[in-house]
Amino acid sequence: MASIIGGIGTSHVPTIGLAYDRKRQNDPAWAPLFEGYEPVAAWLAERKPDVLLFFYNDHANSFFFDCYPTFAIGVAPEFEMADEGAGRRPLPDIAGHPGLARHVTDCLVNEEFDMATFQDRPLDHGCNSPLGLMWPHDPAWPGAILPIAINVLQYPLPTARRCFKLGQAVRRAVESYPQDLKVVVVGTGGLSHQIHGERTGFNDTDWDEEFLRLFVEAPEQLTAMTHADLIRRGGAESAEVIMWMAMRGALSEKIACVHQNQYLATTTNMAVAVYEQVEAGGPPPAPVKPQSNGQLAGIEDIPGTYAFDVEHSVKALRLNRFLWRHREPAFRELVTRDLEAAFEELRLNEEERDLVRRRDWLGLVQYGVSFFVLEKFARVQKMSNLQVYASMRGETLEAFLQTRRVPESA
């Protein structure tokens, strides 16, 4: 069974990554920061986690305000690092863990957390700024990442209590995953800072010390704080410590801080801390029973029915995108003029290309295509939905219409 073996809280200031890339580790202005991460890297090297589960926020690099999710979980097999306007950082791509991500997504949604899922969206400095300081990555990272993005940009934000409960649900999900995995939970953001308005440059290191103490000893006091409370004490952007609260919820009730460092150089009190879990006395808790998506239990017994789930979405992402892009006039023209060139543009594999060439409507659905992108391709092929329905049933259109209450409505 998978298990959570500890937690890390860390700032994600973009200048950390910039200083790292410019090799300023021994610069007197930056050495106190980088020295604070050395014990973190040593702790991870000793514990050897398989997965870092990151609670972070995206700074309008992969998500924008036309559709900005409150909670989103990355389910892709691999993640790139974002270009935030000055070029991509010199860090390799990092593996995801689609199996664990799929399981956690199922569990969270069934616990009534309304998770968005994402693929093909790069990770911005909310992840990659501290990640490079904690894990070796030349030529590759030693494990996988499971990113969970939390909205801390556009109000209303999730409450500190809601984030704490999200962490608790994540713990239950991880501990019910049947594969043996060691997971470290990371919460990013903060500490005190404000980077907009006349209050820009605000810090309160006394509050930061109090926050770090309460985080260990009395997290319930922090979960009761409103966003305005957090802003008043730590500055407007310090409200992002709600992501630390998600990490805290994923840990045991009692924790110990085994390393902590703070460094206030410019606008943000940059902090990093490592937390180990303190086991309660008495017999160990009973193992958590493995879960799956209970809402779909028995669907395999319903003939001719195929659930479009995260597993199929990951498998058929490029194929679904190929079909989805038929919304675009230029792409429709390309498909009509040179289908093979359109295949190349989307990097479809041979099995996917064959399904499209043969217009195998049922095979496409069985492979992992959502009908609601399939119908866009059908329009270009001059096929009505009714004709596609008939094809999937292995019938002529006329025979299918005879099964309808009002065949003449076609």
Cβ–Cβ under 8 Å, residues 158 and 242: yes
**Cβ count near 269 (within 10 Å):** 25
The phi and psi torsions of 258 (rounded to 5 degrees) equal -100, -10
Distance CA(162)–CA(112), nearest Å, equals 12
- What secondary structure does DSSP assign to 224-247, as a single string? T--HHHHHHHH-GGGGGGHHHHHH
Largest CA distance in the chain: 81
> Could you tell me the two tokens for 203?
């810090």
Give the residue carrying structure tokens 């239950």.
Answer: 172
Q: Is the peptide bond before 191 cis (omega within 30 degrees of 0)?
A: yes
Rg (CA), the chain: 24
Enumerate the active-site residues: 125, 193
3-state secondary structure of 141: coil
Length of the chain in residues, anyone? 410
Which candidate, 23, 240, 217, places its Cα nearest to that of 153? 240
Distance CA(124)–CA(132), nearest Å, equals 12
Strands 116-118 and 71-74: parallel
Distance CA(59)–CA(61), nearest Å, equals 5
Element (H, E) at 77: none
For 91-100, give one letter per residue: b (16+ CB within 10 A) or e.
Answer: beebbbbbbb
The DSSP secondary-structure symbol of 327 reads: G
Identity of residue 317 = L
Q: How far is CA 197 from CA 15, 191, 193, 253, 344, in A?
A: 20, 18, 12, 38, 48
